[in-house]
Amino acid sequence: MAAVRALVTALVLVLAVALQAVVFSYFSIGGVVPNLALLVVVAAALVRGPEFAAVLGFLGGLAIDLAPPADHVAGRWALALVVVGYLAGRVRHDAGSSAVAAVVTVAASSFVGTSVFALSGMLLDDPSVPAAEALRVIPLAVLYDVLLTPFVLPVLMRLFRRLRPHRMAY
């Protein structure tokens, strides 16, 4: 059972990374696409807590870092999504209860995730991220993630509840 759960989780991550590169590039707002992997991590955090979400964030971030067409230094999205998973997991008792709180959590996670990625790029100079570009992209990214939340987050949260080991059910 554990193997099946891990397989389904991995499949969801791979699909999220592929969809955001392939499908959503047709619906991008100024090149910005919704960060589906981040939504997966936030959903996992709200259902399963910080440890699980941080591990999932690490794996999902690494997938974004390594899958084509990525060309930045590997590990930057991994770092961003680990932070996102942990933070979102810490607030899950407050955010898991109401829809508004969940949307606010997504907005905050998206802001933190994209900012951490942009800041790591500025520190490493890879690629040289101009502050103006970051200031344009980050609000758009937050907006798009929030727009997609009502459609994606409930489905993902239901999936992660189904995937939760039974002894932990409450």
Partner 1 sequence: MAMPSPRRRPSRTVLVLLLLACFTIITLDVRGGEDSPVDPVRAAVGEVFGPVESGTAAVVRPFRAVPEFFHTTGGLRNDVARLEAENATLRGQLATTDVARNRAAELDGLLSSSRQTGYALVPARVVAMGPAQSFSRTVTIDAGTSSGVHPDMTVLNNDGLVGRVIRAGRGTATVLLVVDQESVVGGRLGSNMEVGFLRGRGDLGGDARLDLDLVDTSATPGKGDVLVTWGSKHGAPYVAGVPIGTVQAIYSSPRQLSKRAVIQPFVDFSSLDLVGVVVDRSAASDRAVIRAGRLDSAKAGTR
Q: Which is nearer to partner 1, 97 or 151 (CB)?
A: 97
How many whole angstroms separate alpha carbon 133 and alpha carbon 35? 18
DSSP class of 75: T
Cα 54 to chain centroid distance, Å, stands at 10
* Amino acid at residue number 94: D
User: Minimal distance in Å, beta carbon 1 to partner 1?
Assistant: 22
Helix, strand or coil for residue 91? coil
Q: Which is nearer to partner 1, 93 or 151 (CB)?
A: 93
Q: Which is nearer to partner 1, 1 or 26 (CB)?
A: 26
Q: Which is nearer to partner 1, 7 or 74 (CB)?
A: 74
How many whole angstroms separate alpha carbon 115 and alpha carbon 97? 26
Looking at the DSSP assignment, which residues form a beta bridge with residue 32?
29
> Contact positions toward partner 1, by CB under 8 A?
14, 17-26, 28, 30-33, 35, 49-51, 54-55, 57-58, 61-79, 82-83, 86, 89-90, 93, 96-97, 114, 117-118, 120-121, 124, 126-130, 133-134, 137, 140-141, 170
